[in-house]
Amino acid sequence: LEGVGGKDRVTALGFHPNNIARILALGLLSIAGLVYAVRKSAFKSSLWVWLMAGLIGITIVQTGSRGGLLALGAGLAVFMLRKGAVAAKFRTVAFVTLGLIFFLTIVFQSEMSLSRFASTFEDGNLARREQIYPTAWKMIKEKPVFGWGTKPGEYELGARLAHPEEEKKNAHNLILYVLISQGLLGFVPLAIALGFTLKAAWDTRGSVRGVLPLSLLTTVLVANMSGIWINNKMHWIVIAYALSSLFVGKGPKRVRLKGVDMILGKRPINAALG
């Protein structure tokens, strides 16, 4: 895919470069998180983690996805909220710091990525998002309660933007997208659900999964601020992973039922019936 200044952006399997960057970001955080985000490292040696993170990181930069890099940076920063011994926290902070320095170095070495960031800061070029967001907000103010509907909203936004090659357009932001398509009636339940998921990930930072669920969830939420990922399977996998953390490490619950000692999910341990 051609980027700013005619420089090609890396992609694969027919995905848009932004989608590839987000998927790879989740993969990188998952690998690194098994050492630097969980309560106890899953591996004795972290050397291969650094190697894999470096290779994936270089690929993410080559996609030229600014939103993907920002989402990755946000997810990495969450690692520093890890609970545990001082030594473990120090290793995590060192990994995050060196990781961010590494990504910045690669970005400055990549002419394509550097030109995309430069166009953002110097010219305000956000790949037409600087036009999409104000137009989307005007539509929201016109129908704030019920919205425009999913497809009608996309066609209306496309018509107002009047791009010759795009008959329809989504808002490239989860909040704006939901407000346009469903209005406040759809946005409020979504906000409550995401808030509950975020709280679940925050409250379970001391579990065996550590801050990994919170890191992945943060990455998904940040990614949704510059693109619509709610229809992507990875979005819902991360949501499910974060919510399931509430039930990790609690162990089976012992109950007594009609004289039979049982463990939920297990066979009866005392089947003697008087």
Q: Residue 264 burial (CB < 10 Å; 0-12/13-18/19+)?
A: exposed
- Residue that wins the pLDDT comparison between 69 and 111: 69
Band (40; pLDDT cuts 50, 70, 90): confident
Rounded to whole angstroms, the Cα distance separating 227 from 42 reads 33
CA distance 179 to 185: 8
pLDDT at residue 250 in the model: 56
Which tokens go with 56? 């994936």
3-state secondary structure of 257: strand
Helix axis angle for 212-223 and 174-203, nearest 10°, is 170
Phi, psi at 120, each rounded to 5°: -70, -50
* pLDDT value of residue 12: 80
Tokens read off for 211: 């801050």
What is the pLDDT, as a whole number, of residue 8? Answer: 75
Task: Report how far apart the first and last C-alpha atoms of the chain are (Å, whole number).
Answer: 74
Per-residue model confidence as pLDDT tens digits over 104-136 = 888 888 877 778 777 777 776 677 888 999 999
* Percent above pLDDT 70 for the chain: 87
pLDDT of residue 210 exceeding 80, the answer is: yes
